[in-house]
Amino acid sequence: MVIPPPRNVRNVRKRLSADALHALLRAAFRMVPDYRHDGITIPLPDALMSAFAMFSLKDPSLLAFDERRHDRNLHNLYGIGRVPSDTQMREILDPLDPEQLRAVYNDVFRELQRGKVLEPLVFLEGCYLLLMDGTGYFSSQTIHCDSCLQKTSKKTGEVTYQHQLLGAVIAHPDHHEVIPLAPEPIVQQDGNTKNDCERNAGKRLLRKIRKEHPRLKLIVVEDGLASNAPHIRELKKLHMHFILGAKPGDHEFLFDQVIAAIDKDRVTTISWKVGDGEAALSFVNNVPLNEANQELLVNFFHYVETGPDGETRKVFTFVTDLRITCSNARLLVRGGRARWKIENETFNTLKNQGYHYEHNYGHGKQHLSVVFAMLMMLAFLVDQVQQRCCPLFQAVAKKLGSKRALWDNLRSHFRHFTFQSMLHLYEVILHDLAKELPAPIFNTS
């Protein structure tokens, strides 16, 4: 059944529409080298685009996606020539080096730069906040692959296999959407017997980001694990600013130096009203990070929010290389606190708003699990861009109220009618055009 094409696409930033981005992804997937040399029945870009479509449609399993294999919409909306079966998809994508997918993220990122999508996200002095955090998405005692991290229980000797991903997103405290860069898998590294960890993955990821975006001005925001001398030296080497959490237990020397600075009147404190309570912010510049690295100076700020009876509601402490002044101190606190956005607006969205982040779509023997995780994050990136730039998508999302209702509607329309483009699909949902149409004829073959 064919529904008339969209009538009004005036307000859509065309190059950032879902259709344009799907075309961009297809072009980028065509540049991914195919490790296969002969016997190719399904081209690699089709296999990659099919997996992307599965996450874009939020299908709960490979089997659910397999059921729509003969749907013309996969060709019309995602440009897929030959859709692989579930088995074919697993076989084709398992040996693929996930590193090859980084370039695809960079192509999308460049398009966002061209479309000036990122400019409103500038946080301070031309710099963007880059929020980083790791999270697990797979854990099993039976299923495993060459990339799995292995944890052996000291008590029972039982081995648990795990996968984690270190995410990095550009975000701003005043804006809801986040822009993920290519994440770094926390996986078993070649030639290493020891498990990989978030700290090593962070080092790899930041080096890659600097190489891929040599001029991008960044303020890296991380938790207290990152406020150590080797990491800070690495950040400085990469010309990245930072706002890092700092806990008294980990930084006894630093906190002693701050107390000494109070005695010398070097600490500035500002306070203001917050609702029925009060916020106090103290800062001091140029204090040594720790005893062993006294030449490594950081700027320290401590935020305390109290209620009307003086009870403590919130406490945050950060170190930064940005010079703290009375005029930027409050903004820097907001920058440090923005870190929750990677947990809440990124990983929690992937886990709880229809993306099935923790589902096992197929684990493979080599890289399948990681390839799928990278493609799911890519689907999330395209959705975030739609949410930010496409008025039609925004109108549909507003009409349906929740992300889950939005994905359910997209899937049911996709299943029952034939569309010419994503915009066409959004338009039909927005204006309830499907109701005007005769009942769909189901293809039972």
Where does this chain touch Zn ion (CB under 5 A) — which range of 148-156, 277-285, 386-394, 436-444?
Answer: 148-156
Where does this chain touch Zn ion (CB under 5 A) — which range of 41-49, 86-94, 367-375, 423-431?
Answer: 367-375
Shortest CB 144 distance to Zn ion, Å: 5
Q: Is the dihedral of CA 117, 121, 124, 129 positive or negative?
A: negative
- Written as one string, the DSSP assignment of 358-372 is T--S---SSSHHHHH
Q: Which is nearer to Zn ion, 145 or 206 (CB)?
A: 145
* Token code pair at residue 442: 């189901």
- Alpha-carbon distance of 261 to 263, in angstroms, equals 5
Q: Which is nearer to Zn ion, 148 or 232 (CB)?
A: 148
Name the residue among 85, 40, 53 with its Cα closest to residue 66: 85
Q: Side chain identity at 368, as an amino acid letter?
A: L
Shortest CB 361 distance to Zn ion, Å: 12
Shortest CB 368 distance to Zn ion, Å: 8
Q: Which is nearer to Zn ion, 147 or 353 (CB)?
A: 147
Query: Does position 149 bind Zn ion by CB under 5 A?
Result: no
Selected from 9, 49, 53, 145, the binder of Zn ion by CB under 5 A is: 145
- Alpha-carbon distance of 420 to 102, in angstroms, equals 29
Shortest CB 163 distance to Zn ion, Å: 5
Where does this chain touch Zn ion (CB under 5 A) — which range of 41-49, 112-120, 143-151, 246-254?
Answer: 143-151
Q: Work out the angle between the directed axes of helices 86-93 and 368-389 (0-180°, nearest 10).
A: 100
Residues 241-300 binding Zn ion (CB under 5 A) are none
Where b means 16+ CB within 10 Å and e means fewer, 362-384 reads bbbebbbbbbbbbbbbbbbbbbb
Three-state secondary-structure class, residue 282: strand
| Whether 76 contacts 100, CB under 8 Å | no
Query: Does position 371 bind Zn ion by CB under 5 A?
Result: no
Counting every residue written for the chain, the total comes to: 445
Q: Which is nearer to Zn ion, 148 or 279 (CB)?
A: 148
Q: Which is nearer to Zn ion, 159 or 238 (CB)?
A: 159
Q: Which is nearer to Zn ion, 171 or 376 (CB)?
A: 376
Query: Does position 374 bind Zn ion by CB under 5 A?
Result: no
Q: Which is nearer to Zn ion, 228 or 369 (CB)?
A: 369
- Alpha-carbon distance of 396 to 260, in angstroms, equals 57
Query: Does position 148 bind Zn ion by CB under 5 A?
Result: yes
Name the residue among 293, 290, 291, 334 with its Cα closest to residue 316: 334
Shortest CB 151 distance to Zn ion, Å: 13
- Alpha-carbon distance of 239 to 225, in angstroms, equals 20
The count of other CB atoms within 10 Å of the CB of residue 185 is 25
Q: Which is nearer to Zn ion, 17 or 147 (CB)?
A: 147
Strands (E), 321-366: none
Where does this chain touch Zn ion (CB under 5 A) — which range of 198-206, 297-305, 353-361, 362-370?
Answer: 362-370
Binding track, positions 156-195, relative to Zn ion; x by CB under 5 A: ----------------------------------------
Residues 387-406 binding Zn ion (CB under 5 A) are none
- Alpha-carbon distance of 269 to 256, in angstroms, equals 17
Q: Which is nearer to Zn ion, 245 or 362 (CB)?
A: 362
Q: Which residues bind Zn ion (CB under 5 A)?
A: 145, 147-148, 369
